[in-house]
Amino acid sequence: MEAMRSYERYGLLLNERVVKTPIAVSAMAGIVDAEYALERAAHIGAAFLGGYSIDGPTMEASRTLAAAGRPEFLYEDPVEALAAQVSRMAPSDVVCGLNLRAGSPDSLAVIASQIGDSVIYEIDAHCRQEPLVRARCGEYLLHHPDLLGEYIRALKREEVSVSVKMRAGVSADDLLLVKKIWGAGADIIHVDLMDFGYQKVRQIRNNSPLFVIANNSVNTFEKMKDMLSHGADMVSLARQSDERTLAGLDAAISRFTDEHGWYNAPKQLCRGGDIRSLAFCCMPVKNCPLIPMLEKIGLSREDYLSFKQNAVAGTPLDFGSQTCFGSLAWCCKDSSPCMFREMTLRQAGLSNREYMRQKKQLADKIMQHLFYEDAATHPC
């Protein structure tokens, strides 16, 4: 019952499991294990345990780092150690991920074959410590994206969910990297934004349909909303993942969602929104940010009009003769004052919350069309 309520509120699934809140704990070597995650289970939807080194080169790198005073998880048998962590997480309602450092694609495949598909396998393309880079993991993979693609494909052959934890601004071209990660079959991109902020989230969303987790200094609801309203599906916390901060974020996002209906609704395009905000755009009849966006994605004005009209046909958005363009399909989000939209919603018996949920469904159709159905269009 609780899972159903969470799904009705957020509509979030990871690894075919309902995510109860769009907040995760991110891996911190030597710190984030099952015990750490379970202590915070009341206010997180997912936990990425680790990082865990899983083969000879990476385990040796961990021992080197531990000897220098850095917290690390050390063990003799990685399969045994990780299986024990997964077993501890199994009874909880927190989706479990394992952040893994591997020196070869085969090392990842072995772990996945032994532990199975009950967890998300997160490739560590994030750590920058020199012993780990020498072991061909962490940031090494951001400089060698073809090898990262091999790591992803090795895991996907085991039919498991795959996340890539990356650091923004390290690769020669983050957007090309994101497209390669998507092309290789990954399911999730977990990005440490460094100093790039929500602008990087928007770029990633505009260039891939992957599930996006935004990480780095997301310790207030305002920062959380910035990430979600520019394309993130979820946020993650590491050093600031104390129970008080997590509880505050969880309470705030649940209140916001219960009021507005769409927890990560984008800002409108004319206010810096991502590609999903086409759901709020009006007809292309004036010189506004919609026109260059359509040009970037290779969608003609006529095709845009036709697609949105067809997408809302038979839905509550296919209504509203007194609105500016004769249909709620072209109306803006609920936070923008509009007497014509509000009058139409009242006449239709549609709450603002349900209106925004309908807009989310329209945005999902737009994403499906742009990234999967129409080969003639190109993400921007």
DSSP 46: E
210 and 68 both lie in a single domain: yes
State the DSSP H helix or E strand holding residue 10, giving kind and residue range, or none if neither.
helix 2-10
Whether residues 341 and 252 fall in one domain: no
C-alpha dist (Å) from residue 322 to 187, 316, 331: 42, 15, 11
> Domain for residue 142, yes or no?
yes
Residues 16 and 131 in one domain: yes
pLDDT, position 2? 86
Last residue of a domain, one of 260, 286, 309: 260
Residue 378 resides in a domain: no
Task: Read off the pLDDT of residues 303-332 as tens digits, 9 standing for 90 and up.
Answer: 999 999 999 999 999 988 888 898 999 999
Same domain, 230 and 364: no
Q: What is the CATH number of the domain that holds 248?
A: 3.20.20.70
Q: Tell me: pLDDT of 378 over 60.
A: no
Domain boundary among the residues 235, 260, 285 is at 260
Instruction: Give, in order, the Cα–Cα distances in Å from 313 to each of 342, 356, 358.
Output: 20, 16, 12
What is the predicted pLDDT for the residue at 118? 98
Q: Is residue 379 part of a domain?
A: no
Q: Are strands 234-237 and 211-215 parallel, antiparallel or unpaired?
A: parallel
342 and 230 inside one domain: no
What rounded mean pLDDT belongs to the chain?
Answer: 95
Among candidate residues 336, 340, 315, the one with its CA nearest the CA of residue 326: 340
Tell me the pLDDT band of 287, cut-offs 50, 70 and 90.
confident
- Structural domain count of the chain: 2
Do residue 75 and residue 194 come from a single domain?
yes
Task: Mark whether 218 and 294 lie in a shared domain.
Answer: no
The reported pLDDT for the residue numbered 373 is 85
What is the tens place of the pLDDT at every residue in 9-24?
999 999 999 999 999 9
Q: Is the pLDDT score of 206 beyond 60?
A: yes
Of 241, 260, 279, which residue constitutes the final position of a domain?
Answer: 260
Using the Cα atoms of residue 102, residue 105, residue 109 and residue 110 in order, give the sign of their dihedral.
negative
In a domain, 300, yes or no: yes
Q: Based on the fold, state whether residues 183 and 230 are members of the same structural domain.
A: yes
- pLDDT of res. 286: 82
Residue 178 lies in a domain: yes
In this structure, are 6 and 145 located in the same domain? Answer: yes
Per the CB < 8 A criterion, the answer to whether 4 and 20 are in contact is: no
Residues 187 and 244 placed together within one structural domain of the fold: yes
What local confidence, expressed as pLDDT, does residue 375 receive? Answer: 52
Clarify whether residues 248 and 277 are in a common domain. no
Residue 243 belongs to some domain of the structure = yes
My answer on whether 174 and 110 are in the same domain is yes
Scanning the structure block, which residue is given the tokens 């979600």? 228
Q: How far apart are CA 76 and CA 319, in angstroms?
A: 64
Q: Residue 363: which domain range?
A: 269-373
149 pLDDT higher than 90: yes
Flag whether 380 is in a domain.
Answer: no
Token representation of residue 178 = 């994101």
